[in-house]
Amino acid sequence: MALFSNHNNGHDLQRDIEALRRDIAALSRSASKRGANAWRGAANEASGFYDDVTQRVSQALPVVRQRAHDLEDTIRDNPGRSI
């Protein structure tokens, strides 16, 4: 019971606990802000990647369609060779 015998130490302990609680709250807010910033950065990067892929696919589609059409014509003209 010597731990609780001195009121000054108890008061200091309470003050230390309150200071730790404030520090933990501040760290929690900081981590939350950093997490939100990281999320926004990742979302922006993913959006940019999606835009790039969409643009490349849309540029390639006419060529893919033409080659598919050419392949259909070749198969239609040579039905025995497509088996």
CA pair distance 62, 54, nearest whole angstrom: 14
1: pLDDT strictly greater than 60 = no
**Average pLDDT of 43-50?**
93
Residue 31: enclosing H or E segment and its boundaries?
Answer: helix 7-77
8 A C-beta contact, residue 4 and residue 10: yes
- CB neighbours (10 Å) of residue 65? 10
pLDDT: is 78 or 30 the higher one? 30
pLDDT: is 7 or 1 the higher one? 7
